[in-house]
Amino acid sequence: MEKFGKSQPVRRVEDVRFLTGKGRYVDDIVPAGALQAFFLRAPVGHGIITEMDTSMAEEAEGVALVLTADSFKAAGFVNEMDFDVIELEDGEGAAPPRPVLADGRVRFVGEPVAMIVAETLAQARDAAEMISLEVDDLPCWFGPGPGGEDIHPEAPGNLAYDWSMGDEAAVEAALAASDRVVTVELPDNRVAATPMEPRGCYVEMEGGRLHMCFNGQGVWGAKDEIAACLGMEASEIRVTNPDVGGGFGLKGATHPEQLAIAAAAKMLGRTVHWMGERTEGFLSDNGGRDLVSTATLGFDAEGRITAYKVETLSNLGAYNSNYGQFIQSELFSKVAPGTYAIDKALLKAKGYYTNSAPVDAYRGAGRPEAIFVLEHAMGHAALQLGIDPFELRRRNFIPPDSFPYTSATGVTYDVGEFAKVLSRAEEHSDVAGFEARKAESEAAGKLRGLGLCYYIESILGDKQEFATVVFGENEVELHVGTQSNGQGHETVFAKFLSDQTGIPMSRIRVVMGDSDIIEWGGGTGGSRSVTMQNTATLAAKDGIAESFGAFLAEREGVDPAEVTFDDERFRLPGSNLSPTMLEVAEMAREAGRDDLLKQTHKGSLRNMSFPNGAHVAEVEIDPETGVTKVVRYTVTDDFGVLINPMLAEGQVHGGVAQGIGQALTERVVFDEEGQLLTATFMDYALPRAEDVPMIAFHHEGTPSTFNAMGMKGCGEAGTVGALAAISNAMLGALAPLGVSDIAMPFTPERVWRAIEETRVAAA
């Protein structure tokens, strides 16, 4: 443990920059003289464009360019966004084209229809008002499920895919033979990612090359997409990410605005800038979640799970986004059976197009959804079976001696000490004291419930990464292929390299987010960053130690095999010389061995890790108003070996806060005409500080055997566990009143109404 990451709570070095206004985000570094872009967006949810006259706008003061689907294509660009489609037993998912700018038809309110580029933003806005746009309305469809007017001819009934995994006959037979069967329908509400910094970019021409600067989760995907869209060679394109104010999956996907801006810069040979406003984000950002699942759990007489079935209907929005089709199908399946010894599982997932912005990855991408379904279904089962929820989990956990364990959905978990972690969680959350706390709440006229979720996470993303170390005269650069969105990467990566090499942390500068400097990287996403980047750094340290050792051996005339590096100094047999890595770099520089001073090494893993743990939430409900507060929250995680405990805990805090937001306050609402009713923070309720209790974090680590550090990714785990923990706490508080059917978000009105209905029924 000492060797690989000293597990120290090192403070974030980047925070001084961020907190003193010295962060440099896209909007802070736009080159002077840039043209400003404004997007005219679809005013209705669904319809045929019958007229679009841009002639007045084109002649308006300050306007340099107006782009529509027609002029975009006429300029030789490809008016289609890239996306992946899922493989099915009998083919693949639907692939209706997704235009950069709406082509003849609009499919959601906020879809980009035209882009106006002018000297000032006010001029671009003025010109946008001069475009006459006529749309013949078509009926809107919001599903999720079959029905409504077909949104794409390629997808009859609006069905994008019908995917399944598992042996249906065996699962149905096992369910039929079960002593008890518990079936629950569980909606998972749509949320908006709302990073603190909305999406934005600028594109400039540097000689004949195109440079896009945008706030993303990596630069290489966008580079390929620009090349394909504009018909350029990838070598003619440079993409950079400066400081980024939150991504959460949203910024992992290229959005249409980026390609339109790139096209305009190329056509005009000038810099073009666009910064999205908050309402534009609400309208056009990829959404998250938005599905409804029916879960069925079969149990034997002892409360052991005999089979598990989930049927999911999900909303893909109006178009396929990058990975939209994979979220509620393949990614959902990664952890669908959770931590339980379930032999028979069946997943059936159907994705539907609707008249809303596309839906794609949002913190956790499929795993929070799967764990919510399983663990809330377990909460219902405990209640229906009359078994203590902690006990029901214990009876079903995969035993510690079964690892490596391959789950019913084909995923191999390396290690797991679930019962041990759960016992610790039971102590830490003081389950024994709950009845007393409940009595206290009741004395104050409040209802109180305790909810448990035992989650497991599957780390995703590319299983290879590179690290380049450049020994400069004054500092050492570490080039990384991941991308910070504010998580503290600069601290963690520099500290890890420092621990491995003895190079003082203050001499290390982490460089990221520039496709000209870094040839390839996997970016941030799927909780992969620290595991993958440090794996690459370990490979780099080994490579540098070996090559520097060989250089020293040659210089000193000793056998290279006898030169060692002990994480601080090189040792040579029979010599007092014990140089540090920086001293050897200086020797190499003096010897003209520049080849040693910049080294790129690749780290790769065969498998990622499986963080898991228990979230215990307590809610307090005011039955008169329905106001619900999460009043106690205890997390006991197994993240293997912690690289930086403080930052890991911070990730959990943020993840739980996002989970509390989805569970209690966040809700995207469209009206029947497709207008978004929650398009500003006046109507979309993000959790505030007062909505988030102090979160107790405890760690009971079992090292992963799938990577050298023994660590497990922690970026999404908080969100994965929170939804079911809070939902089960609600069930605990409300079931005694007869309420067992209430869906997230638990807004005051919804909770009040549920309580009120039982009162009316009882009267």
Partner 1 sequence: MYDFELARPTTLAEALEMLAEEGSDPLSGGQTLIPSLRARLAMPERLVSLMHIDELKGIEQRGDALHVKGGTTHAQLVHGAYDIFPGLASLAGRIGDPAVRTRGTIGGSVANNDPAACYPAAALATGATIHTSQREVAADDFFLGLFETALEEGEIVTGVTFPIPQASAYEKFIQPASHFALAAVFVARFDTRVGVAVTGASEDGAFRWKEAEAALTEDFSVAALEGLSLPEQGLIADVHGGADYRARMAGVMLRRAVAALA
The residues of the shown chain that bind partner 1, judged by CB under 8 A, are: 122, 125, 624-625, 665, 667, 669, 677-678, 681-686, 747-749, 752-753
Q: CB 182 → partner 1: shortest distance, Å?
A: 32
Of 35, 30, 373, 340, which is closest to residue 187 (Cα–Cα)? 373
Q: CB 437 → partner 1: shortest distance, Å?
A: 24
Q: CB 749 → partner 1: shortest distance, Å?
A: 5
Give me 233's structure tokens.
């060679």
Within 10 A of 109 (CB to CB), how many other CB atoms are there? 25
* 95 versus 686: smaller Cβ distance to partner 1: 686
Q: CB 677 → partner 1: shortest distance, Å?
A: 5
**Helix, strand, coil fractions of the chain, as percent rounded to 5:** 35, 25, 40
* 599 versus 747: smaller Cβ distance to partner 1: 747
CA angle 690, 736, 188 (to 5 degrees): 55
Q: CB 389 → partner 1: shortest distance, Å?
A: 29
Q: For residue 341, what are the contacts with CB-CB under 8 A and spacing of at least 6?
A: 305, 396, 397, 398, 399, 402
Q: CB 750 → partner 1: shortest distance, Å?
A: 10
Give me 601's structure tokens.
């090494």
Cα separation, 176 vs 424, whole angstroms: 36
* 136 versus 683: smaller Cβ distance to partner 1: 683
* 321 versus 356: smaller Cβ distance to partner 1: 356
Indicate left, alpha or beta for 303 from its phi (over 0: left) and psi (-120 to 50: alpha).
left
* 24 versus 688: smaller Cβ distance to partner 1: 688
Within 10 A of 557 (CB to CB), how many other CB atoms are there? 8
Within 10 A of 171 (CB to CB), how many other CB atoms are there? 23
Of 264, 248, 253, 286, which is closest to residue 108 (Cα–Cα)? 286
Cα separation, 455 vs 527, whole angstroms: 15
Q: CB 259 → partner 1: shortest distance, Å?
A: 27
Give me 450's structure tokens.
């305790």
* 123 versus 409: smaller Cβ distance to partner 1: 123
**Local structure of residue 596 (DSSP, 8 states):** G
Q: CB 686 → partner 1: shortest distance, Å?
A: 8
Cis peptide before 745 (omega within 30 of 0): yes
* 340 versus 752: smaller Cβ distance to partner 1: 752
* 125 versus 569: smaller Cβ distance to partner 1: 125
* 279 versus 294: smaller Cβ distance to partner 1: 279
Coil, strand, or helix at residue 34? coil
421, 400 contact by CB (below 8 A) = no
* 74 versus 677: smaller Cβ distance to partner 1: 677
Q: CB 630 → partner 1: shortest distance, Å?
A: 14
**Local structure of residue 401 (DSSP, 8 states):** G
Cα separation, 108 vs 92, whole angstroms: 24
Cα separation, 384 vs 386, whole angstroms: 6
* 454 versus 684: smaller Cβ distance to partner 1: 684
Q: For residue 435, what are the contacts with CB-CB under 8 A and spacing of at least 6?
A: none
Q: CB 615 → partner 1: shortest distance, Å?
A: 23
Half-sphere exposure of 549 (CA within 13 A, CB side): 21
Q: CB 194 → partner 1: shortest distance, Å?
A: 12
Q: CB 680 → partner 1: shortest distance, Å?
A: 8
Q: CB 582 → partner 1: shortest distance, Å?
A: 49
Q: What are phi and psi of 388, to 5 degrees?
A: -55, 135
- What are the distances in angstroms from CA 533 to CA 126, 265, 464, 602? 47, 34, 9, 9
- What are the distances in angstroms from CA 675 to CA 45, 142, 152, 488, 669? 7, 11, 20, 38, 9
- What are the distances in angstroms from CA 245 to CA 45, 196, 232, 248, 253? 30, 6, 30, 10, 15
Q: CB 624 → partner 1: shortest distance, Å?
A: 5
Give me 430's structure tokens.
């003081």
Q: What are phi and psi of 14, to 5 degrees?
A: -75, -15
Burial label for 234, CB within 10 Å (0-12, 13-18, 19+), is middle
* 11 versus 759: smaller Cβ distance to partner 1: 759
Q: CB 107 → partner 1: shortest distance, Å?
A: 23
Q: CB 271 → partner 1: shortest distance, Å?
A: 24
Which helix (H) or strand (E) element contains residue 653?
Answer: helix 645-660
Of 472, 484, 561, which is closest to residue 521 (Cα–Cα)? 484
* 56 versus 170: smaller Cβ distance to partner 1: 56
* 308 versus 684: smaller Cβ distance to partner 1: 684
* 116 versus 237: smaller Cβ distance to partner 1: 116
Cis peptide before 687 (omega within 30 of 0): no
* 66 versus 192: smaller Cβ distance to partner 1: 192
Of 715, 648, 645, 718, which is closest to residue 1 (Cα–Cα)? 645
Q: For residue 168, what are the contacts with CB-CB under 8 A and spacing of at least 6?
A: 346
Of 566, 462, 455, which is closest to residue 520 (Cα–Cα)? 462
Q: CB 665 → partner 1: shortest distance, Å?
A: 5
Between strands 476-480 and 508-511, the pairing is parallel
